[in-house]
C-alpha cells in the first residue's frame, strides 16, 4: 500500500495499477484504506491511531 504514495505522477500510479494481476484484492485493499482514513474527522485523530 505504501508504494502507491511513492509515485510522482498519476501516470506512474496508473501504470502500476494496470500491472496488478488481482484487481479485486487491490480494490478491496484500497477501499479498506480509504475507509480507515475517511473515518477521521480531522488530522488530530490520525495521531491517536498512528
pLDDT single digits (tens) 1-50:
567 678 888 898 888 888 888 888 888 888 887 877 776 666 666 665 55
Rounded to two decimals, what is the model's pTM?
Answer: 0.46
Cell numbers representing residue 4 in the block: 502507491
CA pair distance 11, 35, nearest whole angstrom: 24
Residue listed under C-alpha cell 504514495: 5
Residue listed under C-alpha cell 491517536: 48
Cell numbers representing residue 5 in the block: 504514495
Per-residue confidence (pLDDT) for residue 49, from 0 to 100: 55
Per-residue confidence (pLDDT) for residue 41, from 0 to 100: 62
What are the structural domain ranges in the chain? 21-50
Amino acid at each position: 500500500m505504501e508504494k502507491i504514495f511513492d509515485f510522482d505522477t498519476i501516470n506512474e500510479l496508473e501504470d502500476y495499477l494496470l500491472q496488478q494481476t488481482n484487481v479485486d484484492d487491490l480494490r478491496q485493499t484500497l477501499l479498506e484504506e480509504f475507509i480507515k482514513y475517511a473515518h477521521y474527522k480531522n488530522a488530530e485523530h490520525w495521531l491517536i491511531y498512528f
